[in-house]
Structure 1
Amino acid sequence: MELHFTGDVTSILEGLKLIEENLSIQLSDDGYPIHVVKQDGHLHVMNHNGQGEICFEKPIHFFRGLGLFLEHYRKENEFDLSEEPRFEMSGVMLDASRNAVPTVSDVEKLLQRMAVMGLDTLMLYTEDTYEVKEHPYFGYMRGRYSTEELKACDDYASKLGIEMIPCIQSLGHLREALKWNYASTFKDTDDILLVDEPGTYQFLENCIRAASEPFRTKRIHIGMDETFQLGLGKYLEKHGYENHIDIMNRHLQKVVSITEKYGLKPMIWSDMYFPLFSEDSKYRDENGKIREDILATIPDVELVYWNYYRKEQEVYEKDFQHHKQLGRNAIFAGGAWTWNGIVPNYGKAIVTTEAAMAASKKEGIKEVFVTLWGDNGAETPFSTSLPILQLFAEHTYQKEVTLEHTAERYAFCGEGNFDDFMVLKRLDETPGVMKDNMNSSMTSKVLLYQDILIGLYDENSKGLSLGEHYEKLVSEIEKAKHNNPKWESLFDFYEQLARVLSVKAEIGIKIKEVYEKKDYEQMRSILSKLDWIQTNVDQLRQKHRRVWFESYKPFGWEVLDIRYGGVIIRIDSVKYRIQEWLEGRISAIEELEEERLRHDGPWEIVEGLVGGNVYHRIVTAGNFSL
C-alpha cells in the first residue's frame, strides 16, 4: 500500500523507512493521504472521507497508531480509534547471557515488532556478553556484543522511538565472567564479586563505562539480584561474618558512586530488600515502620520488582505497597516464560501477566517491562515470546484487555495466529500437569533428554499416556505450521519435537516392562524403534539448528549440539546393552534391574507436574562435570 504522510513527520520519518518493508507499505507522494499531528494526550487514529489521521505524543505512539490504521483499513473504510497509554514506559528485557546471543539483525526485527505494538524500551541483559576492552576474557567465546554492534542497535531503536537501556550485573550472576584467572583476586564465590576489594571497583568501572558508552540513555540496570551466598566465600575468610543487607548497601553505594561519575541513573532488582518487608522484620521500629536509619542507607536507585510466579492480583498489590514504604514507586518486571525448558509456558505467562498488569494499573505503577529469560541453555526460541509481548502492549494502551482482542492485534503485529501459538504450551502442559502449568513442568525437556536405560523420570510419567498425547499433538502442530507461513521453521521444529516424544516419552517404561517379562521377541522389535528415535532426534537437532541460526550468533549452539548428541550416542549404548542381553553375553541389564523411583529433585516437591530440572540433573544421577 502506498502512503503519503503530511504534517509533523520529522520525528518519525527515519523510523518509517525502517519498517515500510515489514508493513508492506511504500512512501509515495501519490499514496493514500495520512495527516500526522504531534500533540500531548492520547493516541488518536481515524480514517474519514478518504483521509487518514494519526495524532500522537511520542514517536512510539505513532508507530503503534500506524499499525492500528493499517489493520483497520484492511477491514473497514472508516474508523475512529482512541487509546490512552497507561504507563510512561512499557518495554522488553531480552536475555543475551544464558547461551543464546541474538544477532544485531534479530534485535532489529524485534525492535520493528515492538514499535508496531507500541513498546518503547528494550534492555539487552548482558552478564558478560558485551565488550570490555580492559578484560579480553570477559565474554570470551560467548558471542559478546562489540561496542559497534550495541551502538548500531541503539541507533536503530532511536529511529523507532525506542529507548535502549544497558542491563548488566554488578555483584552476582557473574559465574561466566569470573571463571577465568584474571578475576581470581576480586571474586567472593564462583558467581559473586568480592565486596570492599579495590580491584572489584576498578573492574566494575570498566564494565559500567563499556556497557553504557554505546547508548544514548543515561539509565542503566546494574542488577544485584539473588546474591544468596554474598559474604560467605572469600569475604568471610577476610572479614568474618557480616549481615547480608549491610554488605549489599555498602557495595551498592560504591557502585552508585561510579554511575554518578558517568552521569548515569541506575536501577537494581529489588529482591535484596525483601527482608525489610516481612511483618516480623528486625528492620522495623516499634510502630511497625521500616527504621529510618535503614532507609537512610539505601542509595538513590530505582527499584525493579520482578515477579512472574503468582496469579493473585493482591500479591502484586501488596508488594507494590511494600516498595512504597521505601519511599519509591517500583518499576515492575513480569515474564513471558521463555525459560521453562524447550517450550514457552503460555498458560503461566498469561495468568501472571493479567494479575500483575491489573495490580500495576491500580497501584499507579508508571513503568513496566516483560522479561525474556533463557535459563539453562536458551532452548526456547525468543520469538515464541511475541504473543505475550502483544498482551503486555495491549495492557499498556487499554484499561481492560481480552485475549480475543490480543489475538486480533497479534495477527497483524506478529503475523501469526494466536490460538495456534497457544497449542505449543501443550508440549509441557500434558496429562499430569496442573491447569496453566503454574508449577512449571518441563515435561518435554525431561522426556527428550532423560536416558532411556536410566529413566530418572519414568516413574513420574508412568500411566499418563504421554505417547498418545504427543502423537495427537503432531497433527495439530502440523496444521498450525500451515496456518502460519511466517513462522514455518518454528512450528516445524516443535512438530518434530512432538513426533520424537510420541515414541521416546514412554520407550524406557516399555523396555523395562518387556525386560522384566523376559520377552526376547518383543525386545528385538524395540531395537527398530530405537533406530527410529535416533534418526528423528537428529532431525530435531537440525530443525532446531535452523531456528537458532535464523536469530542467534553461533556461540552457544555447541552446547545444544552436545545435548542432542548425548541423546543420539546414548541410544547406541542402549542398543548395545540390549543386544548383549539378547545374545546371552550378559545375564542381566543392571540399569533395568534397578527399581524406578519418582524423581525427587527440587522441582518435584509440588503436585501438578511431570518434572523439571537443569540439563545435567535430567540426564544422570551421577556427577556430570566433576
Structure 2
Amino acid sequence: MFASITGADKELLSCITRLPSFFWEGNWAEEIHLTICPIPSLQDGNDLTVTRDNTGCRIEYRLPVHLFRGLGLLKEHAEEKNFFINQKMYIPEIGIMTDVSRNSVPSPEFLQSLLDRMALMGLNCLILYMEDVYEIEGEPRFGYMRGGYTREQLRSIDDYAAGYGIRIVASIQVLGHMEKVLRFPEYAGLRDSSSCLLAGSEETEQFICKMLSSIGSCLRSRQIIVGMDETHGLGEGRYRVLNGRRPPIEIYLEHLNRVHALAGRYGLNIAFYSDMLFKYGSEKHTYLDPHMQLDEKTKELIPSDAQLIYWDYYSREASLLNDMLACHRSIGPTVYAGPLLSVSSFCVQYEATWKTAGPALMAVKRQKIPMAYGCLWHDDGAECSDWLGLPGMQYYAEHAYTEGVVDPGSLDSRFLACTGLDAGWFRDAALLDEIPCINPENRWPPNPCKYILWQDPLEGLYDADIRGLSLDLHYRRTAQLLRRDLEEAGENGAFLRVPLALAEVLEIKSALSGALSWHYREHDMTALQQDAAALSELYVRVKKLRRLHREQWMSSCSPFGWSRLDLRYGGLLARLETASDRLQDYLEGRLSELPELAVPRYTLDRCGDLLGNGIWKVYDKSVSLSDG
C-alpha cells in the first residue's frame, strides 16, 4: 500500500485498496506519497498525467479509469525516482467483448479478476454477449440449463466495474441467433425460422420489451447492442406464410425501427451489427463492399441515433478497413468491433490478431471513431479460456492511448505491470495454432490444434492435411516451452496447464493422424506395433487433459455448458479405446482387415505444403455436440 493517498474519496480509495495482490508485490509503493487530482471536464489537453519526483507522486486524471491506468504506469516505472508521463485517449470508448453464450458463462468472480486488470490497462468498457444467459422475470425457460446470470449478479458485476469507471454493456439478440430460445415449445409463437424471431408480431414485441426491461434495470449503461446480425433467410419462414413475400430489407428496417422505439421506452440507446444492412444494400450482396450505397429513402429509415457496428475479424488491408469505416460513417454513428481471435480454438491466435487489429485500429483513430472493442468469440464450444486474451486486451488499450502505431512486441513491461504475468507465456500458448506451415495469404487462420485433437483416430478427416509436416516436433517443442513457463510462473501459471496438456496430446496425435492409415495401407507391421503403443499413451494423456480442462472450467465458469465438452472428450476417449482394441486385434490376427484405415484420405485444409483454408468447426463433421 502507498505511504499515503491524498485526494481520493471513499469510493476511489476502496477501489485502489482492492487491487489484486500482484499489484502490490515487492512493496514498491510503501514509500510513495500519492496525490490524485481530477482534471476539470471543460479543460482541454491530456486525459492523464503521472509525475514522480523527490516530493512524491501526482496523478491527474480526467475519468476514474484514467486514474487506474495511471496506477498501472506508476507500477511499470516503479524503479524510476523521477519521470513525467502525459497521455490522451484517441479512442474514447475502448474495451473488449466476451462471448458468454457459447457454452461458457464466466463467473462473476472471474469477471472481477478481468476488470481489475482492464482498469490498470485503461480499458473502459466490458461487453457481455448474452443471447439468453440473463434472467427475465416470468420466463423460466429463457436460458434454461445454460448457467446464465441472475439480475442480482449483473448488478453486482456492474457495481464492481463502475468503481473503476468501466461500463458493462449488454450485447443481446432481438432478431437472429435465437435458436437456444426458440427450440422450446412455449416460444413457438415467436418463431419465424429455427433461429429468427417473427418480425411484426405483437407477441415478439412484448417479448423484446421484457428483454430490454431486464437489461435496463440491471446495468447503468444506457447503450445496448441489439445484434440483428447474420439474419439469413429473414422473412422466409412463418413470416412468409403469414404475410406473403416481402423484400428482407423492408422487414429488417421495420423491425429495427420498432426495436429502437421499444428501447427508447426504457431510456436505452441501441447499436446494431451492420452486416445484413450491407448485404441487402450491396450490388454484390456481400458485407465487405466499401462501395455499397444505400438510397436516400433507405437511409432515412435508419434511426439517426442508432450506432452501426462494423465487425471485421479477418481483413488486413488498410485501404479496405478505412473505406469500410468511411462507408459506415456516411450512414450514421459508427463503432468498430475487431478480433481477439479465440474463435473455435483452444488459444488466442495472436499473430493473426495483430495483423488484423493493427491496421483497423489505426483507421479507427484516423477517422475519429468514438468506440472500438476486441471480441473474444467462442463459437463451437468455448474451449479457450478468456484469460488467454489478456495480451490482446493490453494491445487494444495501448492503441487507445497512442496516436500512432503500436508494436505488440514492445508491450511486455506494460503487460507485466497491469497483470503480473509474462506476455511470453501467452505467446507460447498461441503456438498451439501458430504452426510453422501456415499459409500466410489465407484470410482465415487455421485451427489445427482443434481438428487434430477432435478428429476420429480411425476415420481421420485431416490425415492427408497433416501428413509429412512433422507437427509432432512442433508440439514437442511447444510442450517444452510451456513446461518451462509453468515452472517459472508457479501458481500464477495455472492457466497454462491446459495448453501444456493439449500440446502433449497433440505431439502424439499429430504423428498418429499423419501416419496410421499409411502404415496400414503399406502393411508396415513394425510401425503399426509402435502406433498401438502410441494409442495407449495418447489415451492416458487425453484423460489428463480432460481433467485439467474441467478443473479450469469449474474454477472460472458456471458448471452448465461443460457437459458439451464432456461429450466431446468422452467420445474421443471411446473412439481411442475402439481404435486401440481393433488395431490390437488386427496385429494379433483376430481381424483380417481394418476398413476404416483402408479408405483413401483427401485434403481439407492444405494448400501444397501449407495449412490454412479456414477456421473449421470440425466436430460437426461427424456429430454436433456444440451448444455454441
Q: TM-score range by the shorter chain?
A: over 0.9
- 1: distance between equivalents of 2:584 and 2:567? 26
Aligned residues of 2:20 and 2:116 also touching (Cα < 8 A): no
Query: Residue 312 of structure 1 corresponds to which residue in structure 2?
Result: 317
Name the CA shift for 1:149/1:280 in 2 (closer, same or farther; >3 Å).
closer
Matches within 5 A, 1:199-214: 199-214=203-218
Is 1:444 equivalent to 2:449 in the alignment?
yes
Amino acid at match of 1:61: H
d(CA) in 2 for partners of 1:418, 1:288: 40
Matches within 5 A, 1:113-152: 113-152=117-156
**How many angstroms does 1:38 deviate by?**
0.6
Q: Secondary structure at the match of 1:192?
A: coil
Structure 1 residue 437 displacement after superposition: 7.3
| Structure 2 Cα separation of the partners of residues 422 and 18 of structure 1 | 29
Q: Is the 8 A contact 2:292 2:327 kept in 1?
A: no
Partner residue, 1:230: 234
Counterpart of 2:507 in structure 1 is 502
Q: Secondary structure at the match of 1:506?
A: helix
User: Does the residue aligned with 2:77 lie in a helix, a strand or coil?
Assistant: helix
Residue 455, structure 1, aligned to residue 463, structure 2: no
Q: Contact 2:341–2:353 at 8 Å: present in 1 too?
A: yes
For the pair 1:292 / 2:300, whether they are aligned, the reply is no
Match of 1:197 in 2: 201
Amino acid of the structure 1 residue aligned with 2:321: Y
The aligned counterpart of 2:6 is: 6
Residues in 2 aligned to 1:428 and 1:599: alpha-carbon distance in whole angstroms: 16
SS in 2 for 1:55: strand
Q: Check the 8 A contact 2:318/2:363 in 1, yes or no.
A: yes
Match of 1:614, as an amino acid? K
Are 2:552 and 1:547 equivalent residues in the alignment?
yes
Q: Kindly tell me: are residues 178 and 53 of structure 1, through their superposed partners in 2, closer, same or farther at Cα, counting changes over 3 Å?
A: same
- Aligned mate of 1:472, from 460, 477, 490: 477
1:573 positional shift: 0.9
Letter in 2 for 1:143: G
Structure 1 position 353, deviation (Å):
1.3
With the length of structure 1 as denominator, give the TM-score of the two structures.
Answer: 0.93
Q: Using structure 2 for the length normalisation, give the TM-score.
A: 0.93
Query: Contact between 2:281 and 2:292, CA under 8 Å: does it hold in 1?
Result: no
Write the letter of the residue equivalent to 1:617. D
Closer/same/farther in 2, CA of residues 221 and 427 from structure 1, 3 Å limit: same
Q: Given that residues 44 and 82 in structure 1 are in contact (C-alpha distance below 8 angstroms), is that contact kept between their aligned partners in structure 2?
A: yes
CA distance in 2, matches of 1:575, 1:280: 51
The answer for the alignment partner of 1:24 in structure 2 is 24
Query: 3-state SS of the aligned residue for 2:298?
Result: helix
CA pair 30-72 structure 1, distance change in 2 beyond 3 A? closer
Query: 2:437·2:609 contact (CA, 8 Å) conserved in 1?
Result: no
Change beyond 3 A, Cα 1:70–1:3: farther
CA–CA separation in structure 1 for the residues paired with 2:529 and 2:459: 19
CA distance in 2, matches of 1:23, 1:199: 51
Alignment of 1:401-420 (within 5 A): 401-420=406-425
Indicate if the aligned counterparts of 1:346 and 1:436 stay in contact, CA closer than 8 A.
no
Aligned residue type for 2:123: L
State whether residues 2 and 26 of structure 1, in contact with CA within 8 Å, keep that contact through their aligned partners in structure 2: no
Which is worse superposed, 572-581 or 224-233?
Answer: 572-581
User: Take 1:436 and 1:4, find their aligned partners in 2: how far apart are those partners?
Assistant: 55
The C-alpha deviation readout for 1:31-82, integer Å capped at 9, x for no partner, is: 6311111114411001111311000000000000011112212x21111111
- The answer (yes or no) to whether the contact 2:23–2:417 under 8 Å persists in 1 is no
The residue that corresponds to 2:616 in the other structure is: 613
Identity of matched residues, %? 31
* 1:253 lines up with 2:262 in the alignment: no
**For the residues of structure 1 that align with 2:243 and 2:88, how far apart are their CA atoms?**
54
Residues 571-580 or 441-450, more deviating: 571-580
For structure 1, which segment, 41-50 or 140-149, has the greater mean C-alpha deviation from structure 2 after superposition?
A: 41-50
Give the equivalent residue in structure 1 for 2:176.
172
CA shift, 1:279, in A, is: 6.7
Q: Structure 1's 72 and 30: CA in aligned 2 closer, same or farther, altered over 3 A? A: closer
CA contact (8 A) 1:344 1:425 kept: yes
Deviation of 1:584 (Å): 3.1
Look up the SS of the partner of 2:60 in the other structure: strand
In 1, Cα distance between the equivalents of 2:418 and 2:432? Answer: 25
Q: Compute the displacement of 1:605 (Å).
A: 13
CA RMSD, Structure 1 to Structure 2 (Å): 2.6
Mapped partners of 2:614, 2:384: distance in 1: 17
Letter in 2 for 1:556: G
The whole-number CA distance in structure 2 between the counterparts of 1:538 and 1:360 is 45
Q: Contact conserved, 1:416 with 1:486, CA < 8 A, in 2?
A: no
Unaligned runs of 5+ in 1: none
After TM superposition, give the deviation of residue 606 of structure 1 in Å: 13
State whether structure 2 residue 538 is matched by structure 1 residue 528.
Answer: no
Q: Distance in 2 between matches of 1:99 and 1:563?
A: 13
CA distance in 2, matches of 1:208, 1:345: 34
Aligned partners of 2:119 and 2:164 also within 8 Å: yes
> What is the rounded CA distance, in whole Å, between the counterparts of 2:248 and 2:12 in structure 1?
48
AA at the equivalent of 1:584: G
Q: Is residue 79 from structure 1 mapped to residue 78 from structure 2 by the alignment?
A: no
Aligned partners of 2:409, 2:14: CA distance in 1, in Å?
33
Partners of 1:240 and 1:272 lie apart in 2 by 21
Aligned position for 2:582:
577
Q: What's 1:353 paired with?
A: 357
Residue type of the partner of 1:609? G
Q: Can you give the 5+ residue segments of structure 2 that lack an aligned partner in the other structure?
A: none
* Aligned amino acid, residue 87 of structure 1: I
Question: Does the CA contact (< 8 Å) of 2:306 and 2:333 recur in 1?
Answer: no
Shift of 1:583: 3.5
> Does the CA contact (< 8 Å) of 2:346 and 2:499 recur in 1?
no
User: 1:548 & 1:457 partners in 2: Cα distance?
Assistant: 28
- Deviation per residue, 1:275-314 (Å, 9 max, x gap): 36647799xxxx9963221111112411111112111222
- How many residue pairs get aligned? The number is 615
> Is residue 274 from structure 1 mapped to residue 263 from structure 2 by the alignment?
no
Between the aligned partners of 2:133 and 2:117, the Cα distance in structure 1 is 24
* Kept after mapping to 2: 8 A contact 1:457/1:611: no
Q: State which drifts further: 448-457 or 430-439.
A: 430-439
Aligned-partner Cα distance in 2 for 1:281–1:528 = 53
Q: What is the distance in 2 between the residues matched to 1:120 and 1:296?
A: 32
2:593 and 2:125 map into 1 onto residues whose CA distance is 61
In structure 2, the residue matched to 1:393 is 397
Q: Distance in 2 between matches of 1:554 and 1:508?
A: 32
**Quick one: structure 1 residues 169 and 25, their matched pair in 2 at CA, closer, same or farther if it must change by over 3 Å?**
same
Partner residue, 1:46: 51
Counterpart-to-counterpart distance in 2, 1:404 and 1:153: 32
Whether 1:109 aligns to 2:113 is yes
Mark the CA change 1:220 to 1:414 in structure 2 (over 3 Å): closer, same or farther. same
Deviation by residue 1:364-407 (Cα, 9 ceiling, x = unmatched): 11111111111111101111110000000001111132224322
* Partner AA of 2:2 in structure 1: E
Per-residue CA deviations over 1:120-179 (Å, capped at 9, x if unaligned) read 111111000001122111111100100000000011111111111121110011111111
User: 1: CA distance between counterparts of 2:440 and 2:394?
Assistant: 22
